[in-house]
């Protein structure tokens, strides 16, 4: 089995517990290394975790000026578009935590870059310059098909490539153009947290925890260098 599975009583409690866990883990990373690099995820659950962190009541235990924020993937859309992961996280409370804007590393959209490939190259350059070698915590959602970030099972993922950020042009979920961290980048995270809710994700959890082949699950190909957590609600855990 890959990782530790923690089942939470409900979707709401999953979000609340993960938000509090995130704040405390950032505090621990800062205590050990003086800084914390965090990879966030989009979608309703990703934003629910950000909202829960902001509303946790313990945000004062973190020095938010010493936090770097990244995303596992981003839709190639102009800044501020509601379908962007960073826009959704900002609206959930990320923009209110007091993190300096220069420490929030956003993927360039078509309004800031000449092409999708340019945006991916700029994101990779930023990670290599500011990422401090590894993220402390990376949150990942898992799709019903087993994908994480914008790395889809059965699609070209440059499994053996040393690239950090990829230009994805054939996402089966719209929009088709995205920038995604590579497996290489995700595997550098000290801790990887899969945050999964809903019965439609139950088989994806089974495949990810059970280390299914890459043709069936991308989640199964990612683990943290120190710890891997599957944070799930009862519906997502129903196949285990």
Give me the pLDDT at residue 156, please. 66
CB 141 within 8 A of CB 195: yes
Token code pair at residue 149: 């970030």
- Domain contains 9: yes
Q: Is residue 239 part of a domain?
A: no
Whether residue 40 is contained in a domain is answered as yes
Backbone φ, ψ for residue 6 (5° rounding): -125, 115
| Total number of domains in the chain | 1
- Strand ranges of the sheet holding 4-7, from the earlier edge strand across to the other edge: 4-7, 227-232, 191-196, 137-140, 36-40, 67-71
**Mind giving me the DSSP string for 141-203?**
---TTS-BTTB-TTS---TT---SEEEE---SSSSS-EEEE-HHHHTT-SEEEEEE-SGGGHH
**Within a domain: 188:** yes
pTM over 0.75: yes
Amino acid 6: pLDDT: 98
Q: From CA 170, how far away is CA 180, in angstroms rounded?
A: 12
The answer as to whether 19 is a domain residue is yes
pLDDT tens, residue order, the chain (240 aa) = 679 999 999 999 999 999 999 999 999 999 999 999 999 999 999 999 999 999 999 999 999 999 999 999 999 999 999 999 999 999 999 999 999 999 999 999 999 999 999 999 999 999 999 999 899 999 999 999 999 999 999 876 555 467 899 999 989 889 999 999 999 999 999 999 999 999 999 999 999 999 999 999 999 999 999 999 999 999 999 999
Query: 5 with 202: CB under 8 angstroms?
Result: no
Beta bridge partners of 124: none
Determine the pLDDT at residue 162.
Answer: 76
What is the domain extent for residue 182? 4-232
Place of tokens 């800062």: 30
The pair of three-digit structure tokens given for residue 31, joined into one six-digit string: 């205590």
60 is a domain residue: yes
Within-domain flag for 237: no
Q: Is residue 238 part of a domain?
A: no
pLDDT at 160 (0 to 100): 47
The enclosing domain of 187 has a CATH number of 3.40.50.1360
């Amino acid at each position: 089995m890959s990782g530790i599975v923690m089942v939470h009583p409900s979707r709401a409690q999953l979000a609340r517990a993960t938000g509090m866990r995130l704040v405390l883990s950032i505090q621990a990373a800062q205590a050990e290394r003086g800084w914390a690099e965090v990879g966030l995820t989009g979608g309703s659950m990703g934003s629910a975790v950000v909202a829960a962190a902001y509303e946790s009541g313990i945000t004062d235990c973190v020095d938010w000026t010493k936090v770097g924020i990244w995303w596992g993937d981003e839709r190639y859309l102009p800044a501020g578009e509601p379908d962007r992961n960073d826009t959704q996280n900002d609206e959930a409370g990320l923009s209110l935590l007091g993190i300096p804007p220069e420490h929030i590393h956003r993927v360039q959209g078509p309004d800031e870059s000449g092409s999708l490939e340019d945006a991916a190259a700029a994101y990779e350059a930023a990670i290599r310059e500011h990422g401090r070698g590894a993220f402390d915590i990376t949150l990942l959602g898992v799709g019903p098909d087993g994908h994480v970030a914008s790395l889809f099972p059965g699609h070209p993922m440059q499994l053996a490539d040393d690239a950090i950020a990829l230009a994805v042009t054939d996402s089966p979920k719209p929009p088709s153009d995205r920038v995604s961290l590579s497996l290489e980048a995700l595997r550098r995270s000290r801790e990887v947290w899969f945050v999964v809710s809903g019965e439609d994700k139950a088989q994806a959890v089974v495949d990810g925890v059970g280390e299914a082949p890459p043709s069936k699950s991308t989640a199964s190909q990612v683990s943290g260098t120190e710890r891997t957590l599957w944070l799930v609600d009862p519906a997502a855990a129903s196949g285990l």
